[in-house]
Copies of this chain bind each other. A is one copy, B any other.
């Protein structure tokens, strides 16, 4: 079984594109005809919303499936529509995987050991039933995890990464302004909290390094803080970075480069609103053109990152021909 890290690194190399399409759908992004179609067959507003979201996501995935290696689903935007939304979350992940993309659940789950075990099973493993069989429930390729509870709450995820070829990304330095509130606090040992978390994440993932040289225990490192990202890149060898913050949150391709290793590997860059709502940036564009606008913007983002990596001297790792 290939590890998550190896599958992801291969997919990025094959497309020569480290972009992740963030699927954080809001109803206001969706064209009226899709909303109307979804409403026609749905007895409840939440059911209609979930249907519209899945239809919208499917078209976005179709628009970029040949150029983007992975999608990231932010669970909050699905939970907003109750269990209907959660069904759209699961269907979207399944559809992305059917089109050959990796699906990352951005759920930031965290709890004590026994409960973390239940979360890990739900998202990465197989739920057992009394009759003796088990079924994968969300069957994501990877999930984001919050480290505040320590190793107890992370270990069940790590175990399933190993057993099922899945991955996790642990929050280290997030992209939001108040990341400084706790993550930047200085410890009496001289380092900051996020550095301590970074060191633990690096150690926790050591047993899961694949043939790519990267571990399936990755880190979330916001692109909006390039100095910290550059520092963490050096401090966390072999750790894959999931990098939010490009686009609408304000980070540029040059900012993003800090998260890549010298050979142009080791990071994936998420963009959500800037891709989903790319139609807003097209002159005279309307929601009806969202698919072409998303594809055009995705190609632009890919080329933007390629150019920036070239300019900062990080040689992009291309997969050998025919492999």
Which residues of B are found within 8 Å of A123, using beta-carbon distances?
79
The answer to whether B83 touches A83 (Cβ under 8 A) is yes
Which residues of B are found within 8 Å of A59, using beta-carbon distances?
none
Please state the number of chain copies in the assembly. 2
- Within 8 Å of chain B (Cβ to Cβ): is A183? yes
Q: Which 3 A-B pairs have the closest CB atoms?
A: A150-B181, A150-B178, A76-B118
A82-B137, A149-B178 known; A109-B108 Cβ under 8 A = yes
The answer to whether A130 touches B176 (Cβ under 8 A) is no
Return A140 CB to nearest CB of chain B, in Å: 12
The answer to whether A121 touches B45 (Cβ under 8 A) is no
Which residues of B are found within 8 Å of A87, using beta-carbon distances?
82-83
- Within 8 Å of chain B (Cβ to Cβ): is A46? yes
Residue of A129, A131, A189 contacting most chain B CB atoms (<10 Å): A129
9 contacts between A and B (CB under 8 A): A28-B130, A83-B86, A83-B89, A108-B110, A108-B111, A147-B181, A149-B179, A151-B178, A185-B196
Alpha-carbon distance A121/B178, docked complex (angstroms): 20
Alpha-carbon distance A79/B123, docked complex (angstroms): 8
Residue of A35, A84, A115, A179 contacting most chain B CB atoms (<10 Å): A115
Alpha-carbon distance A183/B116, docked complex (angstroms): 18
